[in-house]
Amino acid sequence: MRIPVSSAPHPLSRFWAPIWFRFGLVGFAAALTDLAFGITWALAVGLAGLGWLIGLHLYYLRKIALWIERPDGTAPSVELPAAYGAWATVFADLRRARRREDKERDQVTETLNRFIEATSALPDGIVILDRGGLIEWCNPSAEKHLGLNLKRDRGYLILNLVRQPPFTEYLMRADFAEPLTLADPVAQITLSVQLLPFQESRRMVVSRDITPYTRVETIRRDFIANVSHELRTPLTVVGGFLEQLIDQPDIAESQRQRIEAIMLDQTQRVERLIEDLLTLSRLETHSGPERETEFQARLLVEAIAIEAKALSDGKHEINVDTEPLTLTGSQDELRSAFANLTSNAVRHTTSGGMILISFGSHPEGAHFTVTDNGPGIAPEHLPRITERFYRVDKSRSRETGGTGLGLAIVKHALARHGGRLEIESEVGRGSTFRAILPMSRVH
């Protein structure tokens, strides 16, 4: 940083003039004494005058020496005294130079502090290494990412402190164009670490927490694997049967009919899966409900109950209890959420079970609740039950035509309406799924 120097140097005449003036004064006094008292007294006066001048200069020199010393490195220990003549000019210049230096130092300190504050707020970690790989400085994010402590570790070799073999290998490499991905199983974070050379042989280690990105990547990979698996199973069944039909054209009629029924069932399963995937993707794409209207919820609940009874085909006792409330929202999305809850109760409850569908006001707004006395869900499954493709009993879910996406659809559809899903369940006793909508959606 450069501070503009405003004052021009003093002309030398301003420095020399008072010196010559004082020497002239001493000479003049000696000459006068010579005239009045003779040469001896004149010499005495001349020497006394010179002694006074030398003493004065030594006094000022001592003051300067003390003033320059600055024992604590900040404020001068001694103030420069008021001076006369040439010393006044010198002192003024010195004071000005010191003020300039102080100002420069303050500005550098302020810039440095601002830089440290800014880097402290950075989510990325930065470690500055000297030529030998010793830690010179690091910010708090680097302390967190790499388990460093600036106060304790300054001046130590980074390789001795971050003792992960991939990190050591990376630092030994000559090519740092690509960052290193470093997984810390203890802290359960994944870091991207890159070494950036600067100032010839100095280096900077930049670390970034990429855990959220790796999590998204894992979810994406799992999702693709799940969808592929879900599609492959029915396609394998259909493919196998088609081969059989081609190989055995004169297959018995009853067997052909059985095969055709299975193939139809499997293709319907693929269709349902694709439908659910499209619904889920629509729900995830937009943040708010699509085509919002005000509608009589009772009619919707009754229609859903009729569908549930059709699906049950008389195997369950299904009761309905609704209040006449008007809702605002996407009828399609709420129908999808409510219908998934009732179809789950029908599909997962064994024949002879009881299902109660109720709709009405709730302290938070309104609720749509489905209670069954089916198998129930063990507590360890509850936190993950709304994840895509998460099933407690995979084969039962598939046998009953489930796609494993129903509760994920319910969760998303409710969230888009500002609502939430509440689940109470006990193994062997049954489950209660409660969709709660906020007051702003109820009239």
Closest CA to 408 of 390, 392, 431: 390
The residue range among 92-100, 103-111, 168-176, 385-393 that interacts with ligand ADP, by the rule CB under 6 A, is: 385-393
Biggest CA pair distance of the chain: 158
392 binds ligand ADP (CB under 6 A): yes
**How crowded is residue 193: how many other Cβ atoms within 10 Å of its Cβ?**
25
The residue among 135 and 341 lying less far from ligand ADP, judged by its C-beta, is 341
The residue among 22 and 316 lying less far from ligand ADP, judged by its C-beta, is 316
Helices (H), 248-330: 253-285, 297-312
CB of 303 to ligand ADP, least distance (A): 20
CA distance 342 to 318: 10
The residue among 98 and 391 lying less far from ligand ADP, judged by its C-beta, is 391
In this structure, the dihedral spanned by the alpha carbons of residues 396, 399, 405 and 409, taken in order and rounded to 10 degrees, is -100
The residue among 42 and 385 lying less far from ligand ADP, judged by its C-beta, is 385
CB of 429 to ligand ADP, least distance (A): 11
Closest CA to 34 of 44, 47, 20, 24: 44
CB of 166 to ligand ADP, least distance (A): 39
CB of 274 to ligand ADP, least distance (A): 14
The residue range among 147-155, 185-193, 220-228, 387-395 that interacts with ligand ADP, by the rule CB under 6 A, is: 387-395
Exactly one of 98, 391, 420, 434 binds ligand ADP (CB under 6 A); that residue is 391
The residue among 80 and 345 lying less far from ligand ADP, judged by its C-beta, is 345
One-letter amino acid of 408: A
Contact 366, 416 (CB under 8 A): no
Binding mask 393-432 for ligand ADP (x = CB under 6 A): x---x----xxxxxxx----------------------x-
CB of 405 to ligand ADP, least distance (A): 6
For 362, residues 6+ apart whose C-beta sits below 8 A from its C-beta are 436, 437
CB of 367 to ligand ADP, least distance (A): 16
312 binds ligand ADP (CB under 6 A): no
Strands 365-372 and 430-438: antiparallel
Stretch 346-375 residues interacting with ligand ADP (CB under 6 A): 348, 372, 374-375
The residue range among 3-11, 13-21, 145-153, 384-392 that interacts with ligand ADP, by the rule CB under 6 A, is: 384-392
The residue range among 55-63, 153-161, 204-212, 391-399 that interacts with ligand ADP, by the rule CB under 6 A, is: 391-399
The residue range among 25-33, 36-44, 216-224, 388-396 that interacts with ligand ADP, by the rule CB under 6 A, is: 388-396
CB of 355 to ligand ADP, least distance (A): 9
CB of 431 to ligand ADP, least distance (A): 4
Helices (H), 317-405: 331-348, 394-399
CB of 400 to ligand ADP, least distance (A): 7
Q: Which two tokens stand for residue 121?
A: 């707020």
The residue range among 73-81, 112-120, 139-147, 392-400 that interacts with ligand ADP, by the rule CB under 6 A, is: 392-400
- 435: region left, alpha or beta (phi > 0 left; psi from -120 to 50 alpha): beta
Strands 430-438 and 326-330: unpaired
CA distance 272 to 277: 8
Strands 189-198 and 202-209: antiparallel
125 binds ligand ADP (CB under 6 A): no
The residue among 139 and 431 lying less far from ligand ADP, judged by its C-beta, is 431
CB of 226 to ligand ADP, least distance (A): 12
344 binds ligand ADP (CB under 6 A): yes
The residue among 14 and 229 lying less far from ligand ADP, judged by its C-beta, is 229
Contact 94, 60 (CB under 8 A): no
Exactly one of 377, 421, 435, 437 binds ligand ADP (CB under 6 A); that residue is 377
For 76, residues 6+ apart whose C-beta sits below 8 A from its C-beta are 67, 70, 98
345 binds ligand ADP (CB under 6 A): yes
Contact 352, 316 (CB under 8 A): yes
In this structure, the dihedral spanned by the alpha carbons of residues 29, 33, 38 and 44, taken in order and rounded to 10 degrees, is -60
CB of 253 to ligand ADP, least distance (A): 34
269 binds ligand ADP (CB under 6 A): no
Contact 198, 204 (CB under 8 A): yes
> Which 3-state string (H, E, C) describes 400-436?
CCCCCCHHHHHHHHHHHCCCEEEEEEECCCEEEEEEE
Angle (CA) 330 220 380, round 5°: 80
Task: Provide the binding-site residues for ligand ADP, judged by CB under 6 A.
Answer: 340, 344-345, 348, 372, 374-375, 377, 385, 390-393, 397, 402-408, 431
